[in-house]
A and B are shown apart, each in its own frame.
Chain A
Amino acid sequence: MAATMFDAPRLVITRPLLQARGLVKRYGRLTAVDGVDVTVYPGEMLGIVGESGSGKSTVLRLLNLEEATDGGEYYLDLPEYDGVNLFDLDRYHRREVRINQIGIVYQNPHLGLRMRTTSSGNVAERLIMAGERTFATLRRTARESLAVSEFPLDRMDDLPIRLSGGMQQRVQLAKAIALKPAALLLDEPTTGLDVSVQALVLDTLIRLRRELRIATVIVSHDLGVIRTLADRVMVMRRGCVVEQGLTDQVLDDPQHPYTQQLVHAKL
């Protein structure tokens, strides 16, 4: 519906960096994701909002190539994968894309981090998976990546389990961006953080969006977070996208009955 409301791009001629079409995921008789298209341009942040169970996290898991799909195509605009549907890749190449080109931050840091490995070790693990073996390089790159995520470097040898929630999210973020991926996927990255810590994480994300030309997808229930970060937003309900558009337009002039309800419930 809302997708066809406007013309195709005419002024912007860059190609989307991330493009997925017709994503489908079923769990038994439940269709968790039912024909979702996702397009993200370089340097752009796309928000996904919608009620609990609408399929937002499932979309991110599909884009992270961590689960098999039941349908759809997925492209990253990279020279080595030009025109390659990433869902068709064999396990070896899938893993390679996942490690080198996609970073993810989960709401629950236990999903994204090893709690009994140091913070720098968690980031270094990514680099080791990508084939880096030199201790000095590992340490330096992990340190740089933690610094970019504004993690306090004097804590880099602490175990994540001993860190605050905000610091854990920074370690996840450092791990996610360590290899300068094409796509960054954020699943409720600030939920559960107290307001001032949340503000710091948001600020880091805004800076990264400006400095790295990554395609970012962020899922959040917090419409304030979405308004601050996302350029465009998609509204999901029961596995489908009911509305999408520029963030201020969707939040201030929602067209679909469900979006109107969602926006007014949060005001």
Chain B
Amino acid sequence: MTILHVHELSKRFHIHQIEREVAAFDWVSFTLHAGEFLLVRGPNGVGKSTLLRCLYRAYVPSAGQAMFTSTAGAIDLARAADVDIMWLRRSEIGNVSQFLRPRPRVSALDLVAEPLLLLGHDWETAQREAREWLAAFGLKPEIWSAYPATFSGGEQQKVNLARALIAPRRLLLLDEPTASLDAEARAALVERLGQLKARGVAMIGVFHHPEDVRGLIDNELYLAPPDSGSRRNGEEYANVAE
């Protein structure tokens, strides 16, 4: 089943103060099916993070479509109403960012449990699952009830991953989630992603060290700088499974 069909998606930033237009990426096209993992590659600054943010609608795409197959029907993420995007973010599209955004006075456990509470799960279930996820990523139980603002970078990222992955999703966007992780946590992440993938979750990921996730990758999308005069992005879209 097709989960996402991206057609000629482009993003340009118009910076009014300097009256300049900055192109991030142009004409990106690809198709993603349930249970597939798409690796996005390309040099620094080519627009990999921007592409993921456009799909999460933290950025507004400038042109093109991104048709997402939601359980409630097909919808173009580039044009969907804000409230529809809010609903999708709560229930179908997950975003794993590079850094945790700790909230003052909220413990690690509560931060991780929150997405389940938002989906209407009861407090006990949410706490139990949160503990299970934190344990899976190897966060020391002594600090589960502490405030993550004081955690090390790697510890914060474990909390971030647990929070991002705890609720069931149809599509996961992963922007360099392994950056600050130790080998053990990296292995735990890959294992969890593998389980989710087997359950049909589709994933789009940017990884600085793709060898971390080698066994998961089905397809690769190589982004070329917009002004490099190369072909449309997506034409060199390679199927590594072959």
Q: What residues make up the interface of A, taking CB atoms closer than 8 Å to B?
A: 5-12, 41, 44, 195-196, 199-200, 202-203, 206, 210, 228, 231-232, 244-246, 248-249, 252-253, 255, 257, 260-261, 264
The total of Cβ contacts below 8 Å across the A-B interface reads: 86
A residues less than 8 Å from B75 (CB atoms): 10-11
Q: CA A31 – CA B173 in complex, angstroms? A: 45
- Contact status B60-A245, CB under 8 Å: yes
In the bound complex, residues from chain A placing their C-beta under 8 Å from that of B51 are none
Stretch at the interface among B28-36, B39-47, B102-110, B229-237: B102-110
Q: Is B240 close to A, CB under 8 A? A: no
Q: Indicate whether B57 reaches chain A with its CB closer than 8 angstroms.
A: yes
Q: Are B59 and A249 in contact (CB under 8 A)?
A: yes
Complex-state Cα separation, A50 to B103, whole angstroms: 24
> Are B58 and A253 in contact, CB atoms less than 8 angstroms apart?
yes
Point out the residues of chain A lying under 8 angstroms from B87, CB to CB: 11-12
In the complex, 26 of the A-B residue pairs with CB atoms within 8 angstroms, ordered by the A residue number, are: A9-B83, A10-B80, A10-B81, A11-B80, A11-B88, A12-B81, A12-B87, A195-B104, A199-B104, A203-B103, A206-B103, A232-B83, A245-B82, A246-B58, A246-B85, A246-B86, A248-B58, A252-B53, A252-B58, A255-B14, A257-B16, A260-B15, A260-B16, A260-B17, A261-B17, A264-B17
Give which listed residue, A202, A246, A252, A257, contacts B82 with CB less than 8 A: A246
Interchain CA distance A64-B88 in the complex, whole Å: 31
Chain B: residues with CB nearer than 8 A to chain A? 13-17, 53, 57-60, 70, 72-73, 75-76, 79-88, 103-106, 117-118
Q: List the B residue with the shortest CB-CB distance to A252.
A: B58
Contact between chains at A11 and B82 (CB < 8 Å): no
Partner of A249, one of B60, B72, B117: B60
A196 to B, closest residue via Cβ: B104
Known contacts A41-B83, A253-B58: A7-B105 contact under CB 8 Å: no
Q: Which chain A residues lie closer than 8 Å to B70 at the CB level? A: 11
* Contact between A5 and B60, CB atoms less than 8 A apart: yes
Q: Which residue of B lies closest to A209 (CB)?
A: B118
The residue among B81, B88, B103, B106 with the most chain A CB atoms within 10 A of its own CB is B81
Instruction: Compute how far the CA of A206 lies from the CA of B111 in the bound complex, rounded to whole angstroms.
Output: 12
Residues of A within 8 A of B85 (CB): 246
In the complex, which residue of chain A has the Cβ closest to the Cβ of B147? A199
**Closest residue of chain A to B17, judged by CB?**
A260
Provide the bound-state CA to CA distance between A202 and B117, in Å: 18
In the complex, A203 Cα to B80 Cα: how many Å? 30
Q: Are A9 and B81 in contact (CB under 8 A)?
A: yes
Smallest beta-carbon distance B17→chain A, Å: 7
- Taking the nearest CB of chain A, how far is it from the CB of B149, in angstroms? 10
B105 touches A199 (CB 8 A): yes
Closest 7 CB pairs of A and B: A199-B104, A257-B16, A9-B81, A253-B59, A11-B84, A248-B58, A11-B72
Indicate if the CB atoms of B81 and A228 lie closer than 8 Å.
Answer: no
User: Whose C-beta in chain B lies nearest to the C-beta of A8?
Assistant: B81
Q: How far is the CB of B118 from chain A (nearest CB, A)?
A: 7
Residues of B within 8 A of A6 (CB): 79-82
A210 touches B60 (CB 8 A): no
Q: Which residues of B lie under 8 Å from residue A261 when comparing CB positions?
A: 16-17
Chain B nearest Cβ from A256, distance in angstroms: 8
- Name which residue of chain A comes closest to B89, CB basis: A246
Alpha-carbon distance between A202 and B105 when the two chains are bound, in angstroms: 9
Given contacts A10-B73, A10-B75, contact A253 B13 (CB under 8 A): yes
Q: Report yes or no: A249 in contact with B58, Cβ–Cβ below 8 A.
A: yes
Contacting pair B76 A7 (CB below 8 A): yes
Q: CB-CB < 8 A to A252: which residues of B?
A: 53, 58-59
Contact B86 A231 (CB under 8 A): yes
Task: Report whether B17 and A11 are in contact in the complex, using a CB–CB cutoff of 8 Å.
Answer: no
Contacts A246-B57, A253-B60; A10 near B84 (Cβ below 8 A):
yes
Chain A nearest CB from B160 CB (Å) reads 15
Shortest C-beta distance, A10 to chain B (Å), equals 6
Known: A7-B79, A210-B117, A257-B16. 20 other contacts (CB 8 A): A6-B79, A6-B81, A7-B81, A8-B81, A10-B81, A11-B72, A12-B86, A41-B83, A196-B105, A199-B103, A203-B105, A228-B103, A232-B83, A246-B57, A246-B58, A246-B82, A246-B86, A252-B59, A260-B16, A261-B16
